[in-house]
Structure 1
Amino acid sequence: MKDLQHGGVTLRQWLAEKRNVIMLVASLTATMTFQAAINPPGGVWQDDSTENFQGSPVPYPHKAGDAVMPYNHLSAYTAFYIANSLSFVMFLYTIIMLITGLVFRNNYFSRFLNAIMIVFMCMTSTSVLVVAIVSLNAITPKQYKKYISRQTGKMLILISCFLVIAVIAVLARILLVIRRRQRRRSSSDDVNHANGDQEAP
């Protein structure tokens, strides 16, 4: 890979900096998902309870260390379990790819791995969002869920508007850069043609 320069920074230096940033984010998120796995929303039971003092079975038999959430929100806990597990596994894959450095080599296999890593990062971000929403919904009291849902909807609409504006700005910036490069190429081609005409007898 050639050491192309842009703004005084070589391409290899930019890739190394990008790898360090992604590694930091992946490590922090993997730690967060692992912590959520061992300490799920609602906590865990602190005692063993399978029968009462009369020897009759209790309504919710459990042992110390069992998660409390599935006893009250089984479907939400299932979504939390799947999303959190996917996030943890995908971030481990990302960390392994960054440590080996395969995704930053200049060949087709590395480009394929890089594309997979980007897809995994997007899926992991979505999974983390699902984990956060499920966790907040599980620990929110029922009498306040409607009010909080309405306020959250308003906030999401506002955030979506800002995101649309940001995407439009980024696309406009990309188009501007592309046009500038095309103009530079056309001007350099014109200069080359002019030099060729002057050298011709």
Structure 2
Amino acid sequence: MEKLLYEASLEGNLNMLLMLLQEDPLILDRVTLDRHGDTPLHIASMLGHVDFVKEVIARKPQLAMECDSQKRLPLHIASAKGHVDIVKALVSANPETCFARDRDGGNPIHLAAIKGCCEVVKELVEAKPHAARAMVQQETILHLCVKHNQLEVLKLLIETMSDHEFINTKDAHGNTILHLAVADKQVQTINLLLLNTTIEVNATNMNGETSMDILAQVPRDLKYQQIMQSLTRAGAVETYTQASFRQVPIKYHKKPRYLREELTENDDWLNRKRSSLMVVASLIATMAFQAGTNPPSGVWQDDSSNNPLRKAGFAVMPSNHPTLYHIFLVCNTVGFVSTLSIILLLISGLPFLKHKVFLWVLMVIMWIATASMSITYSVSIWVLTPTPQSKSFRQVAGGIVVVWIALMTLLVVGHTIRIVAVAFRKFEKLVLPRKRTISSPIVINHAEI
């Protein structure tokens, strides 16, 4: 009959269970006395037989406290497998099973977190929140989530129990969860911790290393750059101790610091320039739109049968100054489209936007926009100023605009020459070391030593 009971638990055969209980009401008690290992409740919990589990618990709720050879309760197994309904049934039978530990010291919520079973973790946290704060071998459940790269479970735990002390708990080696995430280059986890928690970015472990020191020891790739930028924005710093120098060569430490400082300064400078360009482009676009919809001299208020161009709502300027109106319209449109292009490029978030060459391209577009708006202004003054009284003023205003455009042209040419010179120097640095390598191998060997 015991063999039939185990077969019923494997298949989840509820009818067979009821038949066996009818023939022998003590069969469940007899199984727990005679065998040491997986009980029928363990097996059914592992395979997800919900009805079978509920029937066993209803008849013998104390079976929920029976351990297998690994000291695991049925709740441990159901949690690790992600069977939410079975977890609910077992917790309802005995909520204290949430605190039970297996041979490795883990309780059911620890196993569910390691396996990434979010719904089970949510159910267990709601049932017994303190079970999630228990430590396993001096590691919190947050450490387990990061070590096993379970981001969704980590998000859930941070949302439900993200107090400062718990987030910054250290393991046996003094590492916070940020240390572990940086060592494993988990970009999304690092951003989650920096943006949504009160994690201490400059906390040190037992070796005196901060998260930035840990980053200096990992291979450099695209994830390295992303993590570097995130930590730098969060105010992370390096703390070079004797222990960290023993683990990593000295030359390995010095070079990253220089590169990071240069990268940070360039990023800050480019960010400021992009912000300024965005403000100026928005202002010029607004001016161009206003000038286009409200041209100089205004619009006709009524229709005229003698002049086909004179209709209510049409601009007055085409009738009085057709050539100047054409120049005005072209220049204003060029300025408007140029500034809109700048705005669109800045908000697009394309990766090449972080280079100085792209900033030079934006500056050229801005020069086109400002030059066009200057001509638009000059045409407007020319149209709105009476000829007999202010002919000299027209000439002075036009001369000022021409001089200003010439100065801006010199500025663009100067920046162009500077960019070309920088590009030439970089090309020269790439070529010259190769020549020295061929002619002076002793120098290279000395540098390598």
Alignment TM-score, normalising by the size of structure 1: 0.64
Match of 1:192 in 2: none
Query: Of the candidates 138, 142, 146, which is equivalent to residue 387 of structure 2?
Result: 142
How far off is 1:157 after superposition?
9.2
Secondary structure in 1 matching 2:298: coil
Deviation digits for residues 16-60 of structure 1 (CA, Å, limit 9, x no counterpart): 111111000000000000000010000111x3313xxxxxx3346
| Equivalent AA in structure 2 for residue 36 of structure 1 | A
Do 2:385 and 2:394's aligned partners in 1 also have CA atoms closer than 8 Å? Answer: no
Distance 1:14 1:148, change over 3 A: same
| Equivalent AA in structure 1 for residue 370 of structure 2 | S
Match of 1:62 in 2: 310
Q: Which runs of 5+ in 1 are unaligned?
A: 51-56, 179-195
Structure 1 position 49 matched with structure 2 position 297: no
Structure 1 position 90 matched with structure 2 position 338: yes
**Alignment map for 1:105-184 (pairs within 5 Å):** 105=353, 111=357, 114-152=359-397
Query: Of the candidates 246, 263, 266, which is equivalent to residue 11 of structure 1?
Result: 266
Distance 1:49 1:33, change over 3 A: same
How far off is 1:147 after superposition?
2.0
Q: Which runs of 5+ in 2 are unaligned?
A: 1-221, 230-258, 423-444
- For the residues of structure 2 that align with 1:158 and 1:117, how far apart are their CA atoms? 22
Question: Larger relative CO (CA 8 A, sep 6+): 1 or 2?
Answer: 1
- For the residues of structure 1 that align with 2:324 and 2:351, how far apart are their CA atoms? 36
Task: Count how many residue pairs are aligned between Structure 1 and Structure 2.
Answer: 172
| Equivalent AA in structure 1 for residue 312 of structure 2 | A
Secondary structure in 2 matching 1:90: helix
| Equivalent AA in structure 1 for residue 367 of structure 2 | C
| Equivalent AA in structure 1 for residue 381 of structure 2 | L
Q: Which has the higher strand share?
A: 1
Match of 2:321 in 1: 73
Query: Of the candidates 12, 20, 24, which is equivalent to residue 275 of structure 2?
Result: 20
| Equivalent AA in structure 1 for residue 284 of structure 2 | T
Structure 1 position 29 matched with structure 2 position 284: yes
Radius of gyration: which is bigger?
2
- For the residues of structure 1 that align with 2:403 and 2:364, how far apart are their CA atoms? 26
- For the residues of structure 1 that align with 2:387 and 2:266, how far apart are their CA atoms? 53
Match of 1:190 in 2: none
- For the residues of structure 2 that align with 1:19 and 1:152, how far apart are their CA atoms? 31
Do 1:103 and 1:114's aligned partners in 2 also have CA atoms closer than 8 Å? Answer: no
- For the residues of structure 2 that align with 1:150 and 1:42, how far apart are their CA atoms? 20
Percent identity, aligned pairs only?
Answer: 34
- For the residues of structure 2 that align with 1:79 and 1:149, how far apart are their CA atoms? 16
